[in-house]
Structure 1
Amino acid sequence: MLSRAFLSASFLALALTSLAADAPLSLVLQSRAPNGRAALVKEQWLPSRTAIIVCDMWDLHHCKNAVTREGEMAPRMNEVIEKARQAGVLIIHAPSSCMKPYEGTAARQRAQSAPTAARLPDKISEWCKQIPAEEAAVYPLDQNDGGEDDDATEHTAWAAELTKKGLNPKMPWTKQIDVLRIDQNKDAISDSGTEIWNLLEARDIDNVILMGVHTNMCVAGRPFGLRQMAKNGKHVVLMRDMTDTMYNPARWPFVSHTRGTELFIQHVERVICPTITSDQLIGGKPFAFSDATAGPKRLQILLLGDSTTEAIIPKQLAPDEPQIEDTLRILLATQGGLPACDVYNEGVSGEFIRRLLDTRYDKAVKTKPQADYIFIRYGINDRAKVPDFTTSFTKDFKELLARLRKDHPKAMLIPMTTIPYAANSQHEDINAFIVQVAKEEKLTLFDIAPRYLAELKKSPDGLNYRRYALAKVPENLRPFATPYIVQGKDPQVVVLDNRLDGVFGHLPGWYGDRHPTLAGYNVIADETAKWLAPIIRERK
């Protein structure tokens, strides 16, 4: 007979083995506030209560570029799946409309045989195109063309190749890509929202990781996708570096395919569910697609300046609306006949040239992709904060130009005049120095001041937002201010338009803040696009 000590030791060893097999996954979940600011939360997930759903990683696709990107991503995804499976995570392969090759397999039967859940959500077998949290958000991409980003000639040739193979060029997929190994002893295969939900419930799985393609379509909307999981109570996350979008850079918002994917992921993080990255499971760095899948080269435009470039208040109060860099990019895209472009806004509130050079130039400017055009708009803070402005400003400006020439040798450097704050505050003294620098450095000056002044004359306070200290608002009027208070050491009433002018317009200094609102930044972007477009055509 076995001794009690031996039995106790055996039980302890078994328990320790079981605990080791279910060692928690350490994850960092990223979500976003309505203003776009990222928030990170650390969580521990038990593998036995976790599933990975691999969405639509098909063998073929009607978009050739999508096939190329999937081929790059699949090996890394397989590493994630293998490691997760080994840890005890359930892997569910979900190649939609491709169940026939898996009929009769153990993995397919595992999904089919799961008992009907006691709680089966309504419409779990249907696509979900929107959840309530998305209703007020601006959808980040125009995907109405299906998101094809192939070159037209290449796409025609690809369709012909698929047809030659006897496949439907619009729906050529037949199975999951072979790179992803299916473990028939442990995994499940299904494209049914009902089957997958039953499987999750039968195993008491609360945590779900979605990966695969394409985020803005199948991954988000399938019956087993992010929206269905989120709205029906599963703790779901998107593995944001193990996905791709169907997005055509020739459509709004006219960003690169990579940036389009980033924008949709940010949408997911704001209104659907958090995200994680593959390195949290297998180490190394998050996956990134190679330059080979980046598409045609895009013009790189860099904006340098102070708060009148950064636009921090509009970005905080209207984060879903196009900002100055977005408006400039969109306006150039609508000109017709111009190369696609990316616009980077490196303006910072309160900044002057010396501070840029001494603090963040190497990180924020030197490391940017090689620029084709760099707009430089400084002067207001230089005059207010730099001793001996009349000599220092010119010297600092020329030092900045020298560094830009070294770090971005192909870029056209474009000094800009400052914008007038009002008809009686045109910063003519500052702009005289900028004109002088441009002339001495043999650079083409972009004089934004006349257009901005013309718009101010139409509506003297129409281009600036209202920012007013709450302490200056009479007590009896403060209830009107409540929805517009921005908290802080000195709480302020902030609005982007004239909606409070009728109540507060009589207060001394109500119109005192002259920073541009979105209307003002749209003026700057519009004039910049009109000025730059013919130069781009000439330099093509």
Structure 2
Amino acid sequence: MDHRAIRIRPRYTRRLTDPGVELKEANCSHVQLDWEIPIGQAALVCVDVWDRDLHTDMRREDDRVTRERIVPVLAACRRAGVLVIHAPAWPTAEREANWVGLVDHTQAAPPWPDSPAWPPQDFRARVGPYARYARPREPRAAECDQVANPPGFHPLVRPVGDEPVIGVGEELHRLCARRGVLHLVYVGFHTPGCMTGRTYGLPAMHRYGYTCILLRDCTNGMETHETWPDRTSMRGCIAFLEQTGIYTLTSEQFIDGLPQPPAS
């Protein structure tokens, strides 16, 4: 049995204050905990670390973060023997030889047996009498269709050896159950999108009951003309996660907490 441990100080944001301190948001501050995680109970999850994206400025920043931050984390995890899991989304996952194939991703999760069939299907599709509520189709939608033309892995973050590849959250959950994983450390893109919205993202896996930790310098935001200068979208999303059950670290803090490689 491997008795080595990962020693880290994960950060979160308190929503309450100490007795005697005024209960207002300006007094809600960061807290760091002291943890030792058995190395066999941890995994690094690489979310949507692709070889391309739609926006030129986003792609440049993604590539910089990948090369300068994610690659060193990945290398350190491989040296230490931390399980590395790749989560590139569909249909990229199913094209990879290491895809674990634990669930049929084409089958939606069944609803509650007595759940009402509502809203109507025409409303869901925004057709017929509800077409006026549809969001206008982007004129470059076909050109930018990432399902018809799916991205691949970033060349520096491809699976190595038998590193598993998953496509949906239930697949990640079943893989973790098989491997005894309880703590998930996340890197990848993008914090306000796939990191929070995918079925294998931080909030979804937190709801399963896992410890979820974001390496906050190993991601990027989905910015707009208003938020881009200060990366407000990314920073706001990290603040949201830290207040809702998710923890964060920097890449350096995580690497420093990894144990020495196992004795050969």
TM-score between the two structures when normalised by the length of structure 2: 0.72
Match of 2:154 in 1: 177
2:172 is the alignment partner of 1:196: yes
Paired residues in the alignment total 210
Shift of 1:44: 1.0
Match of 2:185 in 1: 209
Q: Specify the SS of the correspondent of 1:220.
A: helix
* Aligned partner letter, 1:24: A
Shift of 1:281: 3.1
Shift of 1:221: 1.7
Contact 1:52–1:211 (Cα < 8 Å) also in 2? yes
Match of 1:227 in 2: 203
2:254 is the alignment partner of 1:265: no
Q: Specify the SS of the correspondent of 2:218.
A: strand
Label 1:122 to 1:41 Cα distance change in 2 as closer, same or farther (>3 A): farther
Contact 1:99–1:175 (Cα < 8 Å) also in 2? no
Q: d(CA) in 2 for partners of 1:176 and 1:52?
A: 16
Q: d(CA) in 1 for partners of 2:39 and 2:160?
A: 17
Encode CA deviations 1:439-469: one digit per residue, 9 max, x unaligned. Answer: xxxxxxxxxxxxxxxxxxxxxxxxxxxxxxx
1:43 aligned to which of 2, 24, 35: 35
Judging by fraction of residues, say which structure has more helix.
Answer: 1
Radius of gyration: which is bigger?
A: 1
2:56 is the alignment partner of 1:64: yes
* Aligned partner letter, 2:251: S
Encode CA deviations 1:15-45: one digit per residue, 9 max, x unaligned. Answer: xxx54xx521111111002234111111111
Q: d(CA) in 2 for partners of 1:58 and 1:207?
A: 24
Encode CA deviations 1:157-181: one digit per residue, 9 max, x unaligned. Answer: xx7xxx9xxx842425421111114
Match of 1:25 in 2: 6
Shift of 1:272: 3.6
Q: d(CA) in 1 for partners of 2:94 and 2:206?
A: 29
Label 1:257 to 1:272 Cα distance change in 2 as closer, same or farther (>3 A): farther
Contact 1:92–1:190 (Cα < 8 Å) also in 2? yes
Label 1:82 to 1:267 Cα distance change in 2 as closer, same or farther (>3 A): same
* Aligned partner letter, 1:215: T
Encode CA deviations 1:273-294: one digit per residue, 9 max, x unaligned. Answer: 11111102335xxxxxxxxxxx
Contact 2:195–2:202 (Cα < 8 Å) also in 1? yes
Q: d(CA) in 1 for partners of 2:151 and 2:236?
A: 30
Encode CA deviations 1:451-504: one digit per residue, 9 max, x unaligned. Answer: xxxxxxxxxxxxxxxxxxxxxxxxxxxxxxxxxxxxxxxxxxxxxxxxxxxxxx
Alignment RMSD (CA, Å): 2.6
Alignment of 1:64-143 (within 5 A): 64-75=56-67, 76-97=69-90, 98-102=92-96, 105=97, 107-108=98-99, 111-112=100-101
* Aligned partner letter, 2:144: P
Label 1:27 to 1:249 Cα distance change in 2 as closer, same or farther (>3 A): farther
Contact 1:248–1:257 (Cα < 8 Å) also in 2? no
2:263 is the alignment partner of 1:282: no
Label 1:190 to 1:85 Cα distance change in 2 as closer, same or farther (>3 A): same
Shift of 1:258: 2.2
Q: d(CA) in 1 for partners of 2:203 and 2:53?
A: 23
Q: d(CA) in 2 for partners of 1:209 and 1:122?
A: 29
Q: Specify the SS of the correspondent of 2:177.
A: helix
* Aligned partner letter, 1:96: A
Label 1:246 to 1:37 Cα distance change in 2 as closer, same or farther (>3 A): same
Q: d(CA) in 1 for partners of 2:244 and 2:228?
A: 21
Q: d(CA) in 2 for partners of 1:60 and 1:84?
A: 24
* Aligned partner letter, 2:83: L
Q: d(CA) in 1 for partners of 2:143 and 2:93?
A: 17
Label 1:29 to 1:249 Cα distance change in 2 as closer, same or farther (>3 A): farther
Q: Specify the SS of the correspondent of 1:275.
A: strand
Unaligned residue ranges in structure 1 (runs of 5+)? 1-17, 115-120, 124-144, 146-155, 284-540
Q: Specify the SS of the correspondent of 1:242.
A: coil
Q: d(CA) in 2 for partners of 1:96 and 1:30?
A: 28
Report which structure shows greater RCO (CA 8 Å, sep ≥6): 2
Match of 1:140 in 2: none
Match of 1:138 in 2: none
Q: d(CA) in 1 for partners of 2:65 and 2:219?
A: 8
* Aligned partner letter, 1:180: V
Unaligned residue ranges in structure 2 (runs of 5+)? 16-24, 104-108, 112-134, 257-264
Q: d(CA) in 2 for partners of 1:264 and 1:92?
A: 23
Contact 1:59–1:174 (Cα < 8 Å) also in 2? yes
Contact 1:240–1:265 (Cα < 8 Å) also in 2? yes
Match of 2:129 in 1: none
Q: d(CA) in 2 for partners of 1:168 and 1:101?
A: 21
Q: d(CA) in 2 for partners of 1:58 and 1:72?
A: 13
> Sequence identity, in percent?
20
Contact 1:200–1:206 (Cα < 8 Å) also in 2? yes
Q: d(CA) in 1 for partners of 2:230 and 2:158?
A: 28
Q: d(CA) in 2 for partners of 1:27 and 1:64?
A: 35
TM-score between the two structures when normalised by the length of structure 1: 0.36
* Aligned partner letter, 2:188: G
Alignment of 1:268-417 (within 5 A): 268-283=241-256
Match of 1:286 in 2: none
Contact 2:192–2:233 (Cα < 8 Å) also in 1? no
* Aligned partner letter, 1:261: M
